[in-house]
Chains A and B, each alone.
Chain A
Amino acid sequence: MVASLNFRAWHRRIDCAQILATVLAAFAPLASQAADVTPLKIGFIGTLSGPAGALGQDQYDAFMLAIEQKGGKLGGVPVQVVREDDQLKPDIAVQAAQKLIERDKVQIITGVTFSNVMMAIHRPITNAGVLLIGSNAGPTPLAGAGCSPWFFSTSWNNDELHEAGGQLATDLGYKRMVVMAPNYQAGRDAVAGFKRDYRGTLVDEVYTQVNQPDYSAEITQLQASQPDAVYVFYPGGMGVNFVKQYRQAGLLGKIPLISVSTIDGTTLPALKEIAVGAITSSPYSPDLKNAENAQFVAAYSQKYKRLPSLYAAQSYDAANLLDAALTTVKGNASDRQALRQAIKTAKFQSVRGDFSFDTNQFPRAGFYRVDVVKVATGAAFETKGPIVAKTRNLLAQQCKMN
């Protein structure tokens, strides 16, 4: 009896102490505000957990690699990256952004993996006059009428990603195609973008559930309708599911598969030879022939034991962009207007080739046809050539920056 009472008393004290401790802990950082040499604080918001965590992780790893290569500095100033995980939840992302701006007082925020998170935090960040350098998500409104002078992207906007896909399909001469995507905003944008540049006949548009595990019904439909080719957009685990099942149904050799963001640096290691023969349209491939990319791929593979994906490449570019801009303003990030101008006109070597900003502050960068080929160690990406989309949604013209 006495022993159990003591036990209860013990953990009663633990519980109260725990609440007290965590309340204090939340206020503790205040105490450490007195620092003299403050490094430049850069916020990083990305999806670092959950099924899509690999993408945010790639962005973060590449960004940190760039900083490490420059001795912990960007543009000659020491930087401190404050990392926040948005867990693919827009409301958590908003809270993270508020924390970065109000508590950590960051001057720049980078990263952002998914479109819905970007839509949630874009306004709070740009309204506060903090520079937002997106290195993956590129929702179409932000490239057009909803653009902001405080927002830059080193990736692409959702429309042009799929316009390239549609152009590729046209170039390859496929007359009858089926397009498949998950039933959410990015999926519907994918189909819309594809249709703009595809000149053949669209036999069917199939919208599947997000995170749907089994595609046998849809694959049976394909076998029945026998299109010339199939275009899919299945990011993350969905892509692994679909390609595995597509291959097992014997279709990967028979009906050509064109995909975007489905077989990429984060999913190819899970597929290996299963994906051989697939054709993709991508803004980046590890085998792109330029000096900066060669150095990047070697350094990234050595440090992280995996090949960089397009998410890593875009984030690496963001770091180099900031490096060039900060060098121009001599490390003084408090003059935001000057920093913004410096970023807009920065000259740096992108791993994707030549780089310059369009008037809406999105890159004028290209897309490539990248095939999955068989190599000794399994499978790898091989760039076949650039894609130039003929019909573009001229978003830059819709952007009126004040």
Chain B
Amino acid sequence: MNVSLFVMQCLNGMQLGVLLFLMAAGLTLVFGIVNFVNLAHGSLYMMGAFVGALVYNTTGSFLLGVLAVIPAMLALAFVLELLVFNRLYQRDHLDQVLATFGLILFFNELARMIWGPSPYYMEVPAALSGTVDLFGIPYPAYRLLIVAAGLAVALGCYLLIHRTRIGMLIRAGATHRAMVGALGVNIKLLNSLVFGLGAVLAGMAGMLAGPILSVQPGMGEPVLILTMVVIVIGGIGSIRGAFLGALIVGVIDTVGRTLLPAVLRGLFERGTADTAGPALASMLIYILMAVVLALRPQGLFPVKHG
């Protein structure tokens, strides 16, 4: 593999990382600040993709689809909170895991009943369907949009959390709930806000990923597992951790997938290498997570307290 190819693969990895970050940002906020284990985050991602695709297909405007996701996800978050989550905020993590596990089943079946079991049609907007020349290799233009969107979201979240009053309240609420409540701040409203933000981020991720991935019931779960790995590696509750963790996971996964089989073929005979290579490549990020957890359980870039 020559240098320019390696650089390209790193770029691919970073782009995957940015996609993961969009999912991870919402999840890490809800995990860390609201202290809520939400397994249904993948379902929110899926609903965002379906709703956005529906609007995009009916109106023909990708932008309209993206914008429509925001109120749709806020509404969904509102309903979920009212019916289920309000009662779960005070319960322990196990109850939250179970209830949201039940919600996954519900949403997958709901999507299947409304949109059918087959993948749903969604294409890249015409303006971005071309390629851009990078290092002599044509690179899909749409992917660059995703990178741009991810960076914008990262910047936006950073500004929100660290430079606004609401962000300060969110940070305070994460570490000293009772105190903030005693100071007269409406903690419940704050939690709802964070949850709403998380839902919108997940829905956005779904809408943006839709054109390059298959939009179908159950599309959230594979991404959910990856996302959870990302936030654990990065540090729960930390946006910085989610961003850097996502990049690390994206690059290691991508480069590992391409380098590992080649390296193994050099060391072992073809048959073993072809079996072991992909298996090891799929295990790679889990091994990484186990190592990080064993050595630094709070994550690589945890939230700074105090």
Q: Tell me, yes or no, whether A and B come into direct contact in the complex with CB atoms closer than 8 A.
A: yes
- Name A residues whose Cβ lies closer than 8 Å to a Cβ of B: 48-51, 53-54, 57, 183, 205-209, 211, 213-214, 216-218, 220-221, 223-224, 236-238, 240-241, 244-245, 248-250, 266-267, 269-274, 306
Closest chain-A Cβ to B22's Cβ sits at a distance in Å of 13
Q: Is B214 close to A, CB under 8 A?
A: yes
Q: Which 4 A-B pairs have the closest CB atoms?
A: A270-B119, A240-B214, A237-B214, A53-B117
Check B140 against A245 for contact (C-beta < 8 Å): yes
Some 14 contacts from A to B, beta carbons below 8 A apart, are A48-B117, A53-B217, A211-B222, A214-B16, A216-B254, A221-B258, A224-B8, A236-B119, A237-B119, A237-B219, A250-B131, A267-B118, A270-B118, A274-B123
CB distance from B285 to the nearest CB of A (A): 11
Query: Within 8 Å of chain A (Cβ to Cβ): is B121?
Result: yes
Contacts of A208 in B (CB 8 A): 257, 278
> Taking chain A's interface residues, is the majority helix, strand, or loop, or is none over half, making it mixed?
helix
B138 at the A/B interface (Cβ < 8 Å)? yes
With A183-B282, A220-B9, A223-B138 given, is the CB distance from A214 to B19 under 8 Å? yes
Instruction: Taking A50-B218, A51-B217 as given, write out 10 further A-B residue pairs in contact, using a Cβ cutoff of 8 Å, ordered by the A residue number.
Output: A50-B217, A53-B117, A207-B278, A208-B257, A216-B143, A220-B9, A221-B258, A249-B131, A267-B118, A274-B123
User: In the complex, are the beta carbons of B278 and A217 less than 8 A apart?
Assistant: no
Cα-based distance from A221 to B9 in the complex (angstroms)? 9
Neighbouring A residues of B116 by C-beta, 8 Å: 54
A74 → chain B, closest Cβ, in Å?
Answer: 26
Chain B hits for A216, CB < 8 A:
12, 15-16, 140, 143, 254
Task: Point out residues on B near A: beta carbons under 8 Å.
Answer: 5, 8-9, 12-13, 15-16, 19, 108-109, 112, 116-124, 129-131, 137-140, 142-143, 209, 211-219, 222-223, 254-255, 257-258, 261, 274, 277-279, 281-282
Whether A207 and B277, one on each chain, are in contact in the complex, defined by CB atoms closer than 8 angstroms, is yes
B304–chain A nearest beta-carbon distance, Å: 32
Q: Are B118 and A54 in contact (CB under 8 A)?
A: yes
Contact of B119 among A57, A217, A267 (CB under 8 A): A267
| Distance between Cα atoms of A205 and B273 in the complex (Å) | 11
Do residues A53 and B112 form an inter-chain contact, with CB atoms below 8 A? yes
Residues on B with beta carbons closer than 8 Å to the beta carbon of A240: 119, 213-214, 216
A385 → B minimal CB distance (Å): 28
Q: Is the CB of A270 within 8 A of B254?
A: no
For A245, what are the chain B residues with a Cβ–Cβ distance below 8 Å? 140, 212
Min CB distance B129 to A, Å, is 7
Which chain A residues lie closer than 8 Å to B123 at the CB level?
A: 244, 272-274
Listed residue (A218, A224, A248) with the most chain B CB atoms within 10 angstroms of its CB: A248
Which residues of A have CB within 8 Å of B122?
270
* B137 to A: closest C-beta gap in Å: 5
**A205: chain B residues within 8 A (beta carbon):** 274
B9 close to A183 (CB less than 8 A): no
B81: min CB distance to chain A, Å: 22
Task: Give A133 to B175 CA distance when docked, in angstroms.
Answer: 62
By CB atoms of chain B within 10 A, which of A211, A217, A224 has the most? A217
Whether A272 and B121, one on each chain, are in contact in the complex, defined by CB atoms closer than 8 angstroms, is: yes
| CB of A288, distance to nearest CB on chain B (Å) | 21
Q: Is the CB of A217 within 8 A of B12?
A: yes
Q: Which of B16, B212, B217, B219 has the most CB of A within 10 A?
A: B212
Instruction: With A53-B112, A241-B213, A244-B213 as known contacts, state yes or no: A270 contacts B121, CB within 8 Å.
Output: yes
Give the distance in Å from the alpha carbon of A388 to the alpha carbon of B3 in the complex: 43
Please tell me if the beta carbons of A217 and B13 are within 8 angstroms of each other in the complex. yes
Residues of chain B within 8 A (CB-CB) of A49 are 109, 112, 117
Q: How far is the CA of A390 from the CA of B124 in the complex (A)?
A: 41
Checking B124, B138, B223, B257 against A217 with a beta-carbon cut-off of 8 angstroms, the contacting residue is B257
Judging by beta carbons under 8 Å apart, are B137 and A224 in contact?
yes
Contacts A209-B278, A241-B214, A244-B212 known; A220 to B117 CB distance under 8 Å?
A: no
Minimum C-beta distance from B53 to chain A (A): 10
In the assembled complex, the Cα of A272 lies from the Cα of B130 at a distance in Å of 17
A50 to B13: give the CA distance in the assembly, Å.
28
Which chain B residue shows the least CB distance to A249? B140
How far apart sit A205 and B13, CA to CA, in the bound complex (Å)?
21
Known: A54-B116, A224-B5, A237-B119. A217 touches B214 (CB 8 A): no
Q: What residues on B are CB-neighbors of A223 within 8 Å?
A: 137-138
Q: Are A248 and B142 in contact, with the CB atoms below 8 A?
A: yes
**Docked complex Cα distance between A269 and B115 (Å):** 12
Q: Which of A209, A238, A248 contacts B140 (CB 8 A)?
A: A248
- Distance in Å: Cβ of A116 to nearest Cβ of chain B: 17
Complex CA distance for A202 and B92, rounded to whole angstroms: 55
With A209-B278, A216-B16, A267-B118 as contacts: A51 and B216 at CB distance below 8 Å: yes
- Chain B residues near A267 (CB-CB < 8 A): 118-119
